[in-house]
Amino acid sequence: MLRRRLNRWLGRDERRVDSRTICVGHRSSSNNDAFIPTKFCDNRIVSSKYTVWNFLPKNLFEQFRRIANFYFLIIFLVQVIVDTPTSPVTSGLPLFFVITVTAIKQGYEDWLRHKADNEVNKYPVTVLEQGRRIQKESEKIKVGDVVEVDEDETFPCDLILLQSSRDDDTCFVTTASLDGESNHKTHYIVPDTEKDLESLNATIECEQPQPDLYKFVGRMHIYKTEQEPAVRSLGPENLLLKGSTLKNTQRICGVAIYTGMETKMALNYQGKSQKRSAVEKSINAFLLVYLCILVSKALVCTTLKYVWQSKPGQDEPWYNEKTQREKETNLYLKMFTDFLSFMVLFNFIIPVSMYVTVEMQKFLGSFFITWDKDFFDPEIKEGALVNTSDLNEELGQVEYVFTDKTGTLTQNNMEFIECCIDGFQYKYQDAGTELDGFCVTDGPVNKVQQKAGREKEELFLRALCLCHTVQVKESTEQGQVQRDGLMDQVDGLTEDGEVLHPPQEQRGFIASSPDEVALVKGAMRYGFTFLGFESKTMKILTRDNDVERYELLHVLNFDPVRRRMSVIVRSKSGDTLLFCKGADSSIFPRVRQEEVERIRMNVERNATEGYRTLCVAYKYLSAEEYAQADAGLREARLALQDREEKLMAVYNQVETGMSLIGATAVEDRLQEEAAETMEALQGAGIKVWVLTGDKMETAKSTCYACRLFQRNTELLELTVRTLEDGSRRREERLHELLLEYHKKAVQDAPPVKAGVTRTWSSANQDYGFIIDGATLSMVLNSSSESNSSRYKNLFLQICQNCTSVLCCRMAPLQKAQIVKMVKNSKGSPITLSIGDGANDVSMILEAHVGIGIKGKEGRQAVRNSDYAIPKLKHLKKLLLAHGHLYYVRIAHLVQYFFYKNLCFILPQFLYQFFCGYSQQPLYDAAYLTMYNICFTSMPILAYSLLEQHICIEVLLDNATLYRGIAKNGMLRWGPFLYWTLLGVFHGLLFFFGVRYLFGNPALQDNGQVFGNWSYGTIVFTVLVFTVTLKLALDTRHWTWINHFVIWGSLAFYVFFSFFWGGIIWPFLRQQRLYFVFANMLSSVSAWLVIILLILLSLLPEILLVVFRKPRGPHAGQKKPVHSSAGGHQSPRSSARPLLMRTFSDESNTVI
């Protein structure tokens, strides 16, 4: 990193901008001896935040950036330096506790990151050097090293494939940890490389590291003795990415081109930053207000003190003469010291104990998620996991959910449903039925009813068996295949219903797309079995038990613009055939139109049912047509410039004039209750965006199946396909489409009421937005800075006015960019990302809240998430129930803490007007210390853990209740002002109510009067009882724990006051409260004023509770609900306490 910056500063970075040159095996070419190899970064991965040396200063710096921590540090230092009315211990101990606990927690988390980094960096790898295999640690790999990787191992860096153990010079990899796709992808070795890598003399010229997983451009110069250097182009098909896993290939060798933090996986990793909740930001804002109140009080008292002392005889009365040192003290220094003393005296208005209570509430509250039995999944025998307890309340504030598709919304498990051949529907089932006017066959097509004709049926099934890139997994690995869920028994039947192939004829398939496996398995159900490749020959077993062989001549790969793929094969009889399958919109224009109508109705019906539909066509190629196509394809594949465009032209030329045979319907099974969960989230006012690396067609089908897109939803598509306009530049077309969509979705749309996400009436049009990764790059990285900003604003406004947004073909870093863009948009909405693979880590880390799903794609997402759940369906309860309750609880906790501390300090401030501004405390030091720690802390902690103002069943059944607390509704300035005014009212009532009592000169039977400590003790007693009973009135859900801590706290206060004042403590220099409390309670007047002031303070609250009409869905619950323990509950709170629910064996939760 330092070297790169120095190069940039010294102007030596120009050559690195375009490309890098690498010598394979560090052997320089014969005609390039003068070449000086460039130094590249090593292969170490660093994800940790601290080191042993910088942990203490860096961690302390980060913690004291929090305004509260810094403020309490200043107060502590003032108490140490200046002679103040209170001890430094009162603020020093809580601060030390908070700092220490946080440092231990963050240090442990970083130690785990160091441990994970070492596991990767110290992993042993095999490197070929001078013909020998040498074991090295992964971190010691250098660019140019030839690395050997065995089956099921992960690639330690980005490699160019040079050699494979497979006969067809290919290898298979899975990229689940990169893009979430668990399917096998085929990669190819560089043509014309030496079999003996020791004798290979070559250099590679390729682009500099960049994060796009799907793009790579380079070329390889192969030098041979007395021959011109051969140049071979390199593309993504030759590049093996770090994090991918080798499958179904015994061994490969490749040359390292990107290492360490320059690999595509590392460039897509988003560094973990400290997340802060909206509640914490509100606390900081409220803290500033109370700081202003504190400074104002101190300034007023300091000013009035010197005004009062300016009067004759007040500054130095006869009974309190100044010392010589006091007389010589500088006036301004004395004023400043007095100001600081007043600051310390009133400091309790800002409660350091609130931060300790909030930390405890978050930590203990997170256990309710872990203990919730509704989150337990019997399949993996695990429940929910909380990695970060700091964000519990943020779960109740989510406005945008960004979800992955593969493995999150879907199970990534495609199943063949039915097919249509020549207009006749074939559904694999036992009983025949009539559907939409199509005749359904009784089971396999070789039964009596062969509506489409045997020839057409067999041609269609041959197309399914040949038009794909599926590989057969060897039978020796069947156990693993079964575990992977890729096993399917051959279901071919004879005309008599007998099994054609014995049970051992079970095959597992691997392919780059799960729907290809589903189609091959679908053909097996009807008696045609794909047996695999033999060199360049494809073998299939027909339902007549004959083995047919076809020579594979060319594969015309799928791409998102064409939306189809084809194969050219030659049969044993010498016929050359082209089989093509693809989306209906791509196939229909290329076949005879009279054939289309027979198929179209089936395709449309399947699409509306949420199935993935593909049409199948074929074409016989004459010798001249094939020769022309073969020459065009070979020439295009060798092109270094515009290779994709040239291949596209040949593909389009060949794939014309085809005959349509039929169509297929494949279902990508959704996760359990995925549609219901998405519907509930939208009902709660949450907007759902799907961010996936998958193809658009698949993702669109999933969105329909999840009800994110409805039948009446108008889709606004902004993809490479819609930008293809021969007469216009892509950027011009992008600008035109953005303006068109903006007019339609934003300008012409009727105003939407706040919180409404979907209009169910037909009066207003719903819009869905679709964008792909390539177009998103154009939007975010336009050539012009002004255009880029304008495109981004248009794009955001369109998306925010759509019910759902689908982003397909996304690289992991693009997912994070989308989340960041929305997160930083106007209003700073709270975002949540959910995914199950390592490709989702970047967006999980970028969002305010990151959720990992404990899926099949490893645990990278779970390790980097804030919360982990077994299934997508659990997100509903996590947000609508737990999130809602956590937010309400902590919002009440924060407001209550500021309120009770204002009640506490306001009498102290008013007391200064009656004691000559002498900084005389109203309360005893023990009361000052114990008020927040013991007397009033436990009731609010219990409330913030157990309160259920609305029962969980109602929260789950009425998703709209979630909107009521949206946008930090309970911590806005309105509620804050209410609590502040309530605190002022109570503080004034406490002080002047007791002062009115003291207007009576004889409060005791013996005629003696009370002193100043009795005055403060009566005020304090009224204070403690009032704020505790106020919380009791706010409690909607009583448990034995609430009763214990509320009444127990009041009892403890009375007991402590008797005990503290009833004994002479030898360690105290002065004992202010000796028998004061007991003496106070001997007065009937004191009892009367205490009871009257408590009642007067709480009277408005009591009247509000009595006369307030119940609101919300829970208001109609008249019948009491009996708990499983046989208890009886009030109508206002029909759910058992959350604590009881999580421990009980039964759950009444309605999902």
Could you give the residue numbers annotated as active site? 404
DSSP-derived secondary structure for 856-873? SS-SHHHHHSSEEESSTT
Q: In the structure encoding, which two tokens stand for residue 378, read together?
A: 């019997």
Reduced to 3 states, what is the DSSP secondary structure of residue 742? helix
Q: 603: buried, middle or exposed (CB in 10 Å: 19+, 13-18, 0-12)? A: buried
Pairing, β 849-853 against β 487-489:
unpaired
- CB within 8 A of 429, min separation 6: which ones? 440, 443
Name which of 961, 816, 711, 657 is nearest 273 in CA terms: 816
How far is CA 451 from its chain centroid?
A: 51
Indicate the angle between helix axes 1040-1062 and 1012-1034, nearest 10 degrees: 170
Structure-token match 């806005």, residue found: 972
Question: CA dihedral defined by 283, 288, 293, 295, rounded to 10 degrees?
Answer: 140
Task: Write out the H or E segment, with its range, that includes residue 170.
Answer: strand 170-175
Other CB atoms within a 10 A radius of the CB of residue 21 amount to 15
Q: 226: buried, middle or exposed (CB in 10 Å: 19+, 13-18, 0-12)? A: exposed
Paired strand residues for 554:
568
Q: Are the CB atoms for 410 and 669 separated by under 8 Å?
A: yes
Identify the sign of the CA torsion 779, 785, 786, 789: positive
Name which of 315, 340, 318, 312 is nearest 326 in CA terms: 315
* Rounded Cα–Cα distance for residues 580 and 464 (Å): 9
Q: Are the CB atoms for 527 and 444 separated by under 8 Å?
A: yes
- Report residue 741: phi and psi, to 5°: -70, -35
Q: Are the CB atoms for 146 and 25 separated by under 8 Å?
A: yes
DSSP-derived secondary structure for 402-465? EE-STTTTEEEEEEEEEEEETTEEEE--SS--EETTEEPPSSSTTSS--TT-HHHHHHHHHHHH
Pairing, β 158-164 against β 170-175:
unpaired
Reduced to 3 states, what is the DSSP secondary structure of residue 45? coil
* Rounded Cα–Cα distance for residues 141 and 131 (Å): 17
Pairing, β 547-556 against β 564-570:
antiparallel
Paired strand residues for 435:
438
* Rounded Cα–Cα distance for residues 250 and 252 (Å): 7
Indicate the angle between helix axes 1012-1034 and 973-997, nearest 10 degrees: 140
Q: Are the CB atoms for 62 and 274 separated by under 8 Å?
A: yes
Name which of 932, 942, 896, 903 is nearest 1045 in CA terms: 942
Let me know how long the chain is. Answer: 1151
* Rounded Cα–Cα distance for residues 611 and 609 (Å): 6
Alpha helices per DSSP H over 219-277: 264-267
- CB within 8 A of 1104, min separation 6: which ones? none
Pairing, β 506-510 against β 487-489:
antiparallel
Identify the sign of the CA torsion 554, 557, 561, 562: positive
